[in-house]
Structure 1
Amino acid sequence: MDTAFIRSSYIAAVFRGVKAHYGIGLNDLSIPAALFEEQMALIPFSEASKWFTQLEVLTGEADYMVKIQQYLDISTLEIPGNWFLSAPDLAMCFRRINIGICSFHSGASYYALQSGNILKWCYNNPYAKDRARSHDSLRVAITLFNAIKHFAGTHYTLKKLRLSGPPIKQKETEAIFGCPVSWNAPQTELWIRIDDLLRPSPMDYFSSDTLTTSVSLAQFESYLNMPQPSDLPKVLYQMINYARYYDLPTLLSVANLFGVSRQQLQRRLQKVGFSFTYLSGYILCNQAIKYMQEGKDFAEIAQRLGYANAHSFSRSFTRFRKQTPTQYMSKISRLNKKPL
C-alpha cells in the first residue's frame, strides 16, 4: 500500500496544454475541476499515470507530450519569487530543483551523476509503470530541458537523452532535444556539458521582483505535508482526502484507489489503530476548517467534501468537534479579535 503522490500544480501544465492543443478538458477524463483549483492538492501517482495513458487514447497521438512542450515549464509552479528559476546560474537552479521538487512529488528522485565532462541530470520514478512510464519520463525530460533553456537559450541542445518506458515517435522526440534519444532506460537522464552549469540567469528572471520569497505560514505548511510512500498513516490520510473530491469517501472507494479489497484496507487500518469512520470524519473536519478560514460558506464546503447538503455536513462536523460549524467559526472569530 505504499503510495506516491504528486501535486496538482505539478501536472496541471499537461492538462492546460492538452486543452489548448487538442480541446480535451478535465471533464473528458472525469476529473473534478476542484482538484486542480486547489493547486497544492495531492494526487496518488497511480491516478496521474492512468490519466497520462488515457490522454494518449483521447488525443490519438502517442507523442502528445511533445506537441504541448511549451506548456511543460517549471515556472508554472506556485513558488514564491519563482524560486527555481530565479537562481543566479544554471548550477543553482539545478540544485534547487533537485532539492525542492520533493515538495511536489514523493517517491521520485532528482539527482546528478558526473561522467568526465558530462553531467547527467537524472529522474527516477519507480511508481510510473508500463505506457505511463514513457509519458511521465518525457514530461519530466521536457520540463527540465525547458529549465535549462531559461539559462542556456532556446537553441540549446543536449548531448544525449535517455528515457524510460517504450519508445514514442523517435524522430519527433529527437527533434525537440537536438540529440540522440534512447528508450527503456532504468531512469530518465539528460546529458549536459559541465561547463554549461555556469550559464548565468537572464535579467528578466533574476530581478528584484523574482527574488521576493516570503510565504505565509499556511502556504509553508502546505509544502511540508508530502507523505513518504511507506508512511502508512499519512498515506491513508491523503488518500481519503483525495477520495472526497469525487464523493463522500467510503471504505470501498478508498480501497479501490489503493487497488486492494475492502477487507485488506480494513486490516491495514486496524493495524495502525484507526477505524475508517473515525479517520475519514477527522480528515473531512480538518479540511472543512481550512475552507472556513478561507471564507467559504457551509453549502460550498459540504459540496467540496462530498456531503449531500449543508445539513449533512453540519451533523457530521458536530459529531466530531462537539460543536456546530457556526459555533466553531464564532469561537475562531473571537480568538482572532483578541489583542496580542
Structure 2
Amino acid sequence: MARRTITVHHVRAVLRGAERHGIDTVPLLQSAQIPPLLLGDDRARITAPQFARLFRELYRSTQDEFLGLGSSPSRPGTFAMMCYAALGCRDLGAAMERGVTFYGLFPGGPDLVLSRTGDAAVFTVRNDLEQDFFLAECLVIIWHRLCSWLIGRRIPLRWADFGHPPPPHKDEYELLFGCPVRFGAERTGAGLAPHWLNAPLVRDEDALAAMLRRAPFDLLSRRDYGTTVAEQVRLTLATGLRASPRLPSLGEIAARLALSPSTLRRRLALESTSYQELKDTVRRDAAIAGLAEGREPIADLAARLGFSEDTAFHRAFRRWTGTTPGAYRYAYRDGPGGQRS
C-alpha cells in the first residue's frame, strides 16, 4: 500500500537544529538516501522510510530527542521515562497531567500545559519553542498520537492552532492533524472533547517497549484509521492500486460504503477533500516511492499507476511536484550512492 509522502519543507525544518549546531547535514541526507538536491525544490517530496531514516541519523548525530531544535537538549531516554511514568495512571487525563509535570522538571524543557474548559480539553506548547515552530508542531502531534495509542482509540481533534503565520505548505496541515487549523494564534496547541480525559489506559509495559522501539517516527506518521470518510476512500484507493492499475471509481467506492455518489461527494467536501484529490494523492505517493526505489522503468511505473500514456504521467507528475519523473529519478541516481538506474 502506498504510504503518505512528506513535503520537503518538513525535511528542511527537521535539519535546522543540526545545522544550528554546526553538523554537516549532507552525509545525514545521503545516509537516509535523500538526494540533497531535492531540498532546493519547494514542491519536492520524500517517502516515509526516507524521513524515518533521516530522523534516526539526526538522533544519532545530535544525541538529543529534540534534534537540536529546542533551547536545551533532551537526553536520550527522557521520552521513554515519561511514558513509563504515565503508564500507571488511572485514566488519560491523569497520564497527560503526569507527562506535563515530568517535562516541567527540566530547565529549558518544553512548557507544556493541559487546561480544561467546559467544552474542551486543551493541550498547548508555549514560550521559546515558538521560535522553532516545527518542534512545537511535532510535540502536539506526538502527544496527540501517544494519547490515542495509550487508550487504543483514535482521538479526533476539534481544532489545532499555530502561533506562526501560514507556511508555504499550509494545505498539508488539515490532513496532518485531521481537523480544522488556524494560523497566527496566540499559542500552538490543540483541543479535544473533555470526555477523552476519562478514558482508561489499555497498554502495558511490553506494548510500550515495542512502541518505543519505533518512536518517535511512528507517532509522527499520519495513520489512516478508517474513522473518516476520506480515510476510508484513501485506503480503498491505495489497496486497489496495489492490486490493479484500474482504481475504483467514485461510484464503486460509494457502493462499498453504502452511500450514494452524491452523498460521498458531500461527505468528502465536508472533510475538505474530494475523490479526485485523494486519487491524485495516492498515485503521487506511489509514483514518488517507485522513483525513489529506482528499479522500475518509468514507462512500467506509469502503466502500473493506471496512466494509458507516458505523457499523461509526465504531466501529472509535473503538476504534483513541479518536475518530471526523469528529473526526479536523476536526482536519486546522482545523489546518495550514485548508482541507481
> Which one has a bigger Cα radius of gyration?
1
Q: TM-score, structure 2 length as denominator?
A: 0.39
- What TM-score results when the alignment is normalised by the length of structure 1? 0.39
